[in-house]
Structure 1
């Protein structure tokens, strides 16, 4: 019974702007997430998920806070995900965040959500 603790997935709580329904729609239509749960009327919190990636959206219209919020999601098949987002118009991709291999052996790209939150999708490069 002396099993060491193991950390699992991380679920960030991020600012979703003043119109959380707009954020939910963005994550659904542009990024392929589904809504697991909504709270409040009007909605002030929602849990969304795609595969193992889960995010909690919280109503918060502090644009400065949103623009200072950033996190990373590991991907298997990053080129296919990038192509999927490009096929949806690619407007969510940060102008300086197109798909590229970084010196730290990660292939990655960056998107901005409707509130200004920065999300990096990455995949380790096999060396």
Structure 2
């Protein structure tokens, strides 16, 4: 029986990753194992592995995060001046989702979506 999925994303600089996810997105740290970082917000957990040689322009890491109250989440990020992906502003998609997207410091794409 499957119970959860936890994405593992690359990070070049743990301090930058923590600053983005904890300070800007409101995640909290679960554990820090040097080259491996675990964070959580609500029911979402994300793990990061150190990949110092990562070229962000070649990173295709992506996570789709389902949410509730997406307009409040989106506005809160705008209020904190978190950059939204230029092609990822909040909009209704033909597949029945309201979505927006942003990039973390390593160009991992985070897409947030809510059923409409």
| TM-score, normalised by the number of residues in structure 2 | 0.93
The corresponding residue for 1:14 is 9
Q: Highest Rg: 1 or 2?
A: 1
Counterparts in 2 of 1:32 and 1:71: CA distance versus 1, 3 Å: same
Displacement over 6 Å in runs of 4+: none
* Worse-matched range after superposition: 65-74 or 111-120: 65-74
Gaps of 5+ in 2: none
Root-mean-square deviation (Å): 1.4
Classify the secondary structure of the residue corresponding to 2:47: strand
| TM-score, normalised by the number of residues in structure 1 | 0.85
The corresponding residue for 2:24 is 30
1:56 aligns with 2:51: no
In structure 2, how many angstroms separate the alpha carbons of the residues matched to 1:57 and 1:71?
Answer: 12
Contact 1:66 1:115 in 2 (8 A): no
Contact 2:40 2:46 in 1 (8 A): yes
* Worse-matched range after superposition: 30-39 or 56-65: 56-65
